[in-house]
Structure 1
Amino acid sequence: MNHDRLELALEAAGLGEFEWDLTRDVLVVSKRMAEITGVPAGEMPAEGGRALDRYVHPDDLPQYLDGRSRNLGAEGRYEAEFRQVRADDGRTIWVRIAGVVTMGSDGRPAHVAGIIQDISERKIEEEHRQTLMAELDHRVKNVLAAVQALAQQTAKRTTSLESFLANFAGRLKALGSANELLTAARWRGAAVEHLVAAELGALAPGQTTWDGPELFLTPRAANALSLALHELATNAVKFGALSAEAGHVDVRWAHTGGGFELTWAESGGPRVQPPVRRGFGSTLLEQVTGRELNGDTLVEYRPGGVYARLRAGAPAVAPRPETVPEAPAARSTETIVASSGPADLKGSRVLIVEDAVLLALELETSLSEAGAEVIGPAYELEEAMALLDRPIDAAVLDANLNGRSVTPVAEALARRQVPFVFATGYGETGGAPGGFDAPVIRKPYDVTQVAAAVAELLRAG
């Protein structure tokens, strides 16, 4: 490569070059290095390296000097990354230096030739990624702590395993819905309208209405409101307005200074009596929700229907996110199974495709107890494809298998006219994943829902 081509290559790569003649203690800075570092171009006294050392960030200087001292002790290549304070404008940048040390006839370092590169953008990306990972770790731990608390509090106030599973699963799903909306908005906030729609949208079509201005909540407030709405909706279905065909629930919210106020009003249902026993739902509504919203909660058991008022302070309200997800219309396509007894899958052959081992084992147990012969479970795409030559009557598919789409399996089943249900944690708003005509059950779910959904598929077929 001739000199001109070398110059072009260095320029294209964004590299600056330098030479350090240790024998004469002279440093030669190229024009490109000057542009990167702000150090004047040309030849200058190296001052034993101090000519450049004075521009190394003080916090990085000890490590840099230690590394340089070791590198100059042996012939070969050396590299270093550190922060540098530009000589011209004082800005701090990240640079990478790579050089080759050449020894003199006396066996001592005589010459260093090297290049320098501005890596500030890469370092910023790395720091941003580390910040995101730390934030994700914090959120995951918070979610796990919330789930643990929900489980413990639900268990303390239920008298049977069946009741615990039903109550806990519902609360876990409400928490999951809020987190799904927050994830879609990159955890910048969730809209009150979306939280209400996620809870009521498919619960009782024609018996629920809601209205209010565009309003976004912080993650903490969104989770609290989602759980509160779930408790109110569950009570309405079991004992209140939504337990009767003529019943109705109306939800309204409005700005109140820096915060907001939301009201829940039931009408047209059976005559309401105050609860004899206080369960965790009542405690959650009257104590937890108000504190989490930086406000207060009022629940009144009026004869004509339950009335609840939730007030939130300014800390509960978030700015409008840059990314605002669509309203969770997909909830209306979710398979909601009524408690009409255990599913009967006797004699059916059901394929399970699920990459979460514990969940797959739980599904296998549930389907087997319902009488099905379980094919699999398949944890990987290749495993699932290899099982397709076996007789299959129905299938349960996770949408994503360790980062890979389950679409090839779904397409193969569709060609064979084998019905399947998606049991997935992905919150797509356009119905089933991949546009398939198939029921969808969103994680977290009760495995009995899956068994019931499979039984419904087989009956329809």
Structure 2
Amino acid sequence: MATRAEQNLDRERLELALESARLGDYEWDMVRDVVRISPRMSEITGLPAGEWPAEKGELLYRGVHPDDRARTQSAMEKSMREEGRFEVEYRRIRPDDGRTVWVRTSGILACDEDGRPISACGIVQDIADERAEDDRHRALMAELDHRVKNVLAAVQALAVQTAKRTTSLDSFLSTFSGRLKAMASSNELLTAARWRGAAIAHLAAAELGGIAPGQTRWDGPELFLTPRAANALSLALHELATNAVKYGALASENGRVEVRWHRIADGGFELFWTETGGPPVSPPTHKGFGATLLGQVTGRELNGEATIEYGRGGVRAHLRAGPAAVVSRPETVPEAPALRKIEVSPAAEGPTDLKGARVLIVEDAVLLALELETGLSDAGAQVVGPAYELAEAMSLLGSPIDAAVLDANLNGLAVTPVAEALAARNVPFVFATGYGDAGAPLGFDAPIIRKPYDVTQVAAAVAGLLADR
């Protein structure tokens, strides 16, 4: 039989363990109908420490939030009756300061030889932080669901409006793909900043940085836009850049595009797009969706207005945005987008010829993999795979392979082992990924094509890799 000193030591050890785990404990002597509340439980619940009349358990149940009491009492009594133990989470209103706290309590029931309950002992844990984290997680998931639905709705509207104003499938695919990439660029910047805002300079770099090197310039103070305004400006810059490449200043080697912006007195901003040195321009005879987007959607989404002039010197656009389009500098600001490593215009370069090339496809999204397989096969390639999992990709490395298209992430696993194996065999590959430059595996001198992409662009990239060998 343990001595009193040994019992005290055991009790001290238990108290230390409970304190380290931030737990409080209590004992309910059902024979004497008293409850002993530990100091730590008192800190958590606000109940006074010490031994108090249990009132047949009413003392413990009294502080349970009215909305939780029936459920909590029923669950505890049912569990004790059927299993001899219990665990339940509920809100408790502290009697000392009236605050509501979330707690988790668990314990066991002790019975005499005849099965009559004689005592219950349990522990109480403060789970306010855990519950707050759960609430934040649910809020984030709800916000993510909201944003995904908004993006899908915007993509659907973009597809419908583009289709209404194009006369051929090829024209639709080219135009829609470009607009989709503009949306993806702004969303990538917003994601990096935790959807707190995107810098105008970054949006301009994303749209102009990879086209006509040396012919484009952008400059202005650091200004950050709301997600709504950022998407609108990204699409506007894309439409202007596309028209400049097709018909305006960037259609000529001597042409130049300059984009400047500044803040205005009311807190908004003005942006000026100026083309010089290109061929003569005139107002379009047919008003397409791009013109509608610039003239109406951009102005409204920026809480301002947009105007376009077709002068002898080139196109001039003036965008004016209201203060609601501008946000303060986010806590997390991504670096300026790197210039795209590949900018291919399949229509200008002609059809890609991959006849006889054995190309490995590693992509975990089935629809994208099928699209890649069709596109590469149409170009004459012999497709190896597709591989949807990392292990599946590794098992295909023993096959003859001339080049590969790799998604950077396969169901949560980095594609790095595949890239390392290919690099060791001097097999060239391209990353086709939604992570962009910063999210692709580091340490590889490989081109990166960001999703959403045109499959013909991927085929052209593969052809370029094979031509360089």
Question: TM-score w.r.t. structure 1 length?
Answer: 0.96
Of 201, 209, 221, the match for 1:193: 201
Say if 1:335 and 1:439, in contact at 8 Å, map to a contact too: no
Q: How far has the Cα of 1:2 moved from its partner?
A: 2.9
Matching residue of 2:147: 139
1:280 corresponds to which residue? 289
SS at match of 1:159: coil
**Residues 1:72 and 1:459: Cα distance change in structure 2 (over 3 Å):** closer
Instruction: Tell me if 1:368 matches 2:367.
Output: no
Secondary structure class of the residue paired with 1:59: helix
Residue range with higher mean Cα deviation, 255-264 or 372-381? 255-264
Tell me what 2:435 maps to. 426
Determine the C-alpha separation between the residues in 2 that align with 1:102 and 1:196: 71
What residue number does 2:279 align with? Answer: 270
Q: Which moved more, 1:27-36 or 1:157-166?
A: 27-36
Alignment of 1:30-429 (within 5 A): 30-74=38-82, 76-104=84-112, 107-256=115-264, 257-329=266-338, 331-339=339-347, 340-429=349-438
TM superposition outliers: structure 1 runs of 4+ over 6 Å: none
Write the distance in 1 (CA, Å) between the matches of 2:294 and 2:464. 35
Give the distance between the partners of 2:128 and 2:179, measured in 1 at CA. Answer: 45
Q: C-alpha separation between the residues in 1 aligned to 2:462 and 2:402?
A: 10
**Structure 1: which amino acid aligns with 2:415?**
V
Residue deviations 1:197-227 (CA, integer Å, cap 9, x gap) = 0000111111111111111111111111111
- Alignment-mate amino acid for residue 455 of structure 2: V
- Give the Cα separation in 2 of the matches to 1:412 and 1:71: 56
Range with greater deviation from structure 2 (264-273 or 70-79): 70-79
* 1:5 paired residue number: 13
Change over 3 Å in CA distance of 1:39–1:274 after alignment to 2: same
User: Distance between the aligned counterparts of 1:300 and 1:65, measured in 2?
Assistant: 74
Q: CA RMSD in A?
A: 1.6
Offset of 1:25 from its aligned partner? Answer: 2.3
Gaps of 5+ in 2: 1-8
Determine what percentage of the aligned residue pairs are the same residue.
Answer: 68
| 8 Å Cα contact 1:342/1:370 also seen in 2 | yes
The match for 2:454 is: 446
Once the 2 structures are TM-superposed, how far is the Cα of residue 105 of structure 1 from its aligned partner? 5.9
**1:241-297 deviations in whole A, cap 9, x for unaligned?**
111111111111111222111111111111111001010101111111111111111
* Conserved? CA contact 1:75–1:109, under 8 Å: no
Distance 1:255 1:249 in 2: 21
More deviation, 115-124/20-29? 20-29
Match for residue 5 of structure 2?
none
| AA in 2 matched with 1:101 | L
Contact 2:346–2:456 at 8 Å: present in 1 too?
A: no
Which runs of 5 or more structure 1 residues have no equivalent in the other structure?
Answer: none
Aligned equivalents of 1:349 and 1:285: distance in 2?
Answer: 44
In 2: Cα distance, 1:428 partner to 1:38 partner: 53
Instruction: For 2:84 and 2:115, locate their aligned partners in 1 and report how far apart those are by CA, in whole Å.
Output: 13
What is the alpha-carbon distance in structure 2 between the residues aligned to residue 232 and residue 337 of structure 1? Answer: 17
Q: Distance in 2 between matches of 1:264 and 1:373?
A: 46
TM-aligned CA deviation for residue 235 of structure 1: 0.4
Quick check: 2:108–2:121 contact (8 Å CA) kept in 1? yes
Size of the aligned set, in residue pairs, is 459
